[in-house]
Amino acid sequence: MKLGWSVSSVLCEDFPKTIEKAAAEKWKGIADGNLVPLAETCNGVADVAIALEPVYWPWITSRFRGRSLTADDELDSIHDGYRDEALKFVRSIELERLKHAHELLRIRAAMLEDNTDLYRLIRSANWATRHNIKGETGLAMWIRHMAEVLRRGTEEAHDVQLEEEDVAFGMWHKSGRKLAFGSDRALDHPSYYRKELLQRMGLDVSVRVKWYVEGATEVGFLNAALGGIRDSQVEVVDCKGKFTGDALVELFEDLKRDKAAERFSFVSADADVSANIAAIKRMVSNDLIVGYIPIYNPDFEFANFTIEELVTAAIYYDKEDDYPTDSSNLLDVSLFAGVRNGHDFEQKYIEIHEGTRREVKGMAWGRALWETVKANLDLPGGGERPVIAAIRVAYMSADVEYRYQQEQFRIDSGTLGIVKRD
């Protein structure tokens, strides 16, 4: 008999008399028979739930006792026979009474614990986790589980659809649950919405974006800028400059796996490699990319950095090399006049060093580029660097529902930009 008083109530001078009076009023209600109808209703609901428990409880809790990896015709026959009898019993009960009982349980649970996202998270957890939940949150969970048993039996017996147990007060806009959870019947498929729910609660630590790049320079830059997979939830994949042959086949398979895992795909490439652009357009034509495609014109270096920044990065690159060199007096911007792409920049760099340096590319070069511009993310003349714009979109993915993006938007095969689906 719960009175709902705080522990500090015992400090009150009149506490003994007050509790005696309250208890007397409670017992008077029982003696007068006022609680009998409610008790009978509750007992009836419990009886129906108990009858349906063997049919639906294993599905709700994902606990199937007595099962093995082999077929068990005898056990299946017993289960099917019991299920038929249980549903026959439920059909004998008026639908409105069952609806009322289910609504009563949903409302009572919500009065105890109305944090519906919390219940959805609990419902998607394994049984070992759920079984150990205590307090009013645990009680509300048990009531909702009982309501779910009742709902599933009612829906199957009477061919109707009732509200799910996370709904008690208020109402959902049409298609609102599908937009939020990927399905109008979220609790029918808890694993289906778990990822979106964890994402919305800031608890999802899985890879959200798989970013395919042409080479190690971009890998070095992005890893330095993003801080690694753990912090950014972005995995950078080096395609080693080729979107052709076996490498292209593997990339197609990777993109298919991304879609199956509901993971955004980013594919970036240099505009001056026509074969790679053609390959990306094939991916788009096959609707393989749900995500973003940054194209660097003419290439990664000259789309994102000025010649002054590239020279500064080259000096830093030499200084941080395994065999460091101070090239601040050697590399001068004026020496790179007329250079218009990354390949020519590298050739001029090698020429100035008179062959003592063989290349300016790779992970270390990418990190040097990041160190050069990390304090100034916009281009010196104004405007956002394309790679920084792409990073911004990658971070935005944490707040975007994958299924919504997939259903509502696509990549245009001509411009390679994101457009609304027809």
Model confidence pLDDT, tens digit, residues 257-302: 999 999 999 999 999 999 999 999 999 999 999 999 999 999 999 9
Question: 């038929």: which residue's tokens?
Answer: 84
Which residues are within 8 A (CB) of 123 and not within 5 positions of it... i.e. 6 or more apart? 130, 144, 165, 166, 187, 190
- The whole-angstrom separation of Cα 346 and Cα 421 is 42
The residue to which tokens 């005696």 are assigned: 20
112: left (phi over 0), alpha (psi -120 to 50) or beta: alpha
- By residue count, the chain amounts to 422
Q: Residue 123 gets which letter from DSSP?
A: H
Q: What are the tokens at 320?
A: 């941080």
pLDDT score of 128: 86
Stretches in the chain below the pLDDT threshold 50: 1
Tell me the DSSP string of 299-366: -HHHHH--HHHHHHHHHHHHHTSSS----TTT--GGGGTT--SHHHHHHHHHHHTTTS-----SHHHH
Query: Do residues 298 and 272 lie in contact, with contact meaning Cβ atoms separated by under 8 Å?
Result: yes
State residue 33's pLDDT score: 64
Confidence (pLDDT) at 68: 54
Q: What is the pLDDT of residue 124?
A: 85
- Give the pLDDT confidence of 218-260 residue by residue, as tens digits: 999 999 999 877 778 999 999 987 787 888 899 999 999 999 9
pLDDT at 212: 97
243 touches 285 (CB < 8 A): no
| pLDDT at residue number 339 | 95
Residues 6+ apart with CB under 8 A from 275: 243, 244
Task: State the pLDDT at residue 100.
Answer: 92
Q: CB-based contacts of 246: which residues, under 8 Å, 6+ apart?
A: none
* Residue 342 near residue 302 (C-beta atoms within 8 A): yes
134 token code pair = 């205590």
Strands 269-270 and 234-238: unpaired
Contacts 24+ apart (CB under 8 A), 322-325: 325/356, 325/357
Whether 332 and 357 have beta carbons less than 8 Å apart is answered as no
pLDDT for 1 = 46
CA of 404: how far to CAs of 33, 287, 295, in Å? Answer: 55, 15, 24
Instruction: Please state, in angstroms and rounded to a whole number, the distance separating the CA atoms of residues 336 and 253.
Output: 41
Q: Which residues pair with 247 in a beta bridge?
A: none
How far is C-alpha 275 from the chain's CA centre? Answer: 34
